[in-house]
Structure 1
Amino acid sequence: LKGMLRVIRPAAAGMKARGGGSIICLSSIMGVAYGWDEHVHYSSAKAGVVGLVRGLAVELGRSGIRVNGIAPGYIRTAQLLSEKHSLGPEGAKTVGDIVPLGRIGQPDDIADVVGFLASDAARYLTGQVITVDGGLMVGRY
C-alpha cells in the first residue's frame, strides 16, 4: 500500500492541477472474496487496496479525480504458471475448468477493463473495485 500511495500522491497533485483524472489500482479476488492460508500477507495487502480505493475516491472526488480498482481472478501470467509461486500449468488448467466462462483470464481481459475505467465511459464511476474473474466467485463461492 505504501508503494501505491507513493505513486498516487504526486500523480493526484498533477491531476488536480489539470482538473481531474482517473486512478486505477489492482487488487485481487483474494482481497475481495476469500483468503488463502499460504498467502495471508498477499490477501491482506490486496484487501487493503480495496480500502485505499474507497478512501481515495471520497478524498479526491471533488477534485474531479475518479479512483477505482480491479480485482483480477486467475490470469495467465508468469506468476500464475509458476509452481513455486502459484498454481503452475496443471493447477491453471484445473481452475480454468471450474470458471463459468470455461477458462482462466488473459492479460488483455484486465487491460480492457483498465481502458474502460480510464475512459470517459466510466465518468460516473468511482470508489468501486470490479471483479474480473470469468464468474469464478459467483459460480463457485
Structure 2
Amino acid sequence: MPSIHDRIREELLNKERALWTALTSADPAPAVFKLSNPEANFMFPQMEILTLQDEETFKKALRPPFHRFDGYQFEEVRTIIVDLMAGVVTYKIRAVRGNKEYTATGSTTWSQGSDGEWTIASHSETLL
C-alpha cells in the first residue's frame, strides 16, 4: 500500500491536471471556480491578481479564449507535501494552440478542507 505522502502527491497531481484541463477549455471559469478555496489568489502573466471575491469579475477575466490551448504537458513536476492538509505542485508547462507555444513555470498551493476536498489556495504562472 502506498504511503500517505505518496497518496497525497498523486491526488494533488490529479487536481493539478484537472486545473489545467479547465484552464485550457473553452470556458474555464466555472470549473476553476469550483476547484478553488473562497480565499484563492491567481497570478497569471500580464494580468492583475485575481480573487474569487467578485465571481462576475473572475468569470469575466477568464472568459474565452483565455488560455485556450489544443494541448498541454507538464515537465519537471515536483509535489511538495507541506503537511497532511497542504501541498504545493511546481512544474514547467508547455501548451500549444495551432503553431503557437506557451511555455511557463507554474505553481499551485492546495489545501485540504475538513470535508477532505483539496482546493486551490494560490496559483501562479511565469512566462519563460
> Normalising by structure 2, what TM-score?
0.30
Q: Higher helix proportion, which one?
A: 1
Q: Higher strand proportion, which one?
A: 2
